[in-house]
Homo-oligomer: A and B are copies of this chain.
Amino acid sequence: MAGSTYGTIFKITTWGESHGKALGVVVDGCPAGLELSEEDIQHYLNRRKPGTSNITTPRKEADEVEILSGVFEGRTTGTPISLMVRNTSQLSKDYSEIATYYRPGHADYTFDEKYGFRDYRGGGRSSGRETIGRVAAGAIACKILEQLGVHVCAYTRSIGSIEADMTKFSKQTALTTVTAMPDEDANVRAVAFLEEARANCNSVGGCMECIVEGIPAGIGDPVFEKLDANLAKAMMSIGAVKAVEIGDGTLVSNCLGSENNDSFRMQHDHVIKATNHAGGILGGISDGDTIVIRAHVKPTPSIFLPQQTINKDGDEIDIQIKGRHDPIIVPRAVVVMECMTALTVLDSMMINMSAKLDKLIDFYKK
């Protein structure tokens, strides 16, 4: 098992390496009848494209998606949707040297240990380009969720020590700043910080956040398939993520029950919570409030400073990595977080449809 399939009902299978012919995804279990065009998907892929600012790699990646199956006369048919992006700008010659040694912070060594050898060109399957399939599939999930009244939105919460001021939060800003920060001022400071890191041949980490609005209460299962458990897996499956938080997250380990509990209140006949420390999930099941997830992303491991490592012969050596690498992963990973969240939430909503007997009977006997 190479673990390239995700989801139970809305099930995706990604494939492709950074320097192969193409990358793609098969989306199985998409409901029939959704209007879908390549533009719907391209819009999301463009958000993860590099080369749009001086804080991302100057590599040009066209990343044009092609729908190969599953759509007929503009609508999904219910059968697998195959999506492909051809690799166009990958130059294998850049990577000949790194074939011989293990880059610190990369998966070179672990791939060799697992599989006996590896596609050493630019990260192969553990490259950030692997996420193209996730984003292409997630674009479809997002479109369906919108029609269900569920809105998913991810953005950069912090870069290094520079945190977005959430009182200035704007979804639109997050879509337009080069850092994907939802606060213009923080973006300016973060860009300066990133330029400094780049000048120092170094890289920096950051934190991304995703919110889900409009999800009904009652989604998720109470034991192993808790909604937050699946979200945690989804987030940690994104390369370079090292921590996941729901709601107050790590803060809960240093607070009191009286501080952490959210009171239930009524608002115009609707149940609400006075606060949302829980991040919209109680006992693994959505409570109707906004779901809040954070993922902490390590700095880009490819830095241009000298580093110590070993080669395949077991010699200790000093290396200095060259090439084109972003000084930070976060801004381009934000859309991946949004897509993985959407895939997880949509699948949970589909699985949930038979939870109540009366709803099941209604569905088939109306």
Contacts and interface: CB of A to CB of B under 8 A. Distances in A.
A249 to B, nearest CB: 4
Nearest to A13: B13
Interface residues of A, number: 169
A199 interface: no
CB-CB nearest 3 A-B residue pairs? A107-B283, A3-B225, A3-B221
Given A16-B82, A253-B296, A244 B236 contact: yes
Contact of A248 (B84, B242, B246, B264): B242
Contacts of A13: 5, 13, 26, 28, 80
A357 to B, nearest CB: 4
A57 interface: no
A182 interface: no
A354 interface: yes
Interface stretch (A17-25, A48-56, A183-191): A17-25
Interface string A271-298: 1001000110111111110000000111
B358 A79 contact: no
Given A13-B80, A222-B111, A252 B262 contact: no
A169 B158 CA distance: 33
Contacts of A228: 236, 242
Contacts of A68: 15-16, 20-22, 24, 84
B265 A310 contact: yes
Given A244-B236, A252-B296, A261-B303, A282 B223 contact: no
Contacts of A149: 364-365
A35 to B, nearest CB: 9
A96 interface: no
18 contacts: A2-B79, A15-B80, A17-B69, A31-B354, A31-B356, A72-B117, A72-B121, A107-B222, A107-B285, A110-B220, A148-B364, A197-B256, A204-B255, A207-B250, A252-B296, A257-B300, A257-B303, A350-B354
A130 interface: yes
A269 to B, nearest CB: 7
Contact of A223 (B2, B33, B69): B2
A316 interface: yes
A147 interface: yes
A331 interface: no
A297 B255 CA distance: 10
Interface stretch (A39-47, A98-106, A171-179): A98-106
Interface string A121-152: 10011100010000000000000100111000
Interface string A160-176: 11000000000000000
- A4, A17, A257, A287: most-surrounded residue (chain B CB, <10 A): A257
A357 B147 contact: yes
Contacts of A299: 252, 255-257, 259-260
A114 B352 contact: yes
A109 B217 contact: yes
- A147, A316, A360: most-surrounded residue (chain B CB, <10 A): A360
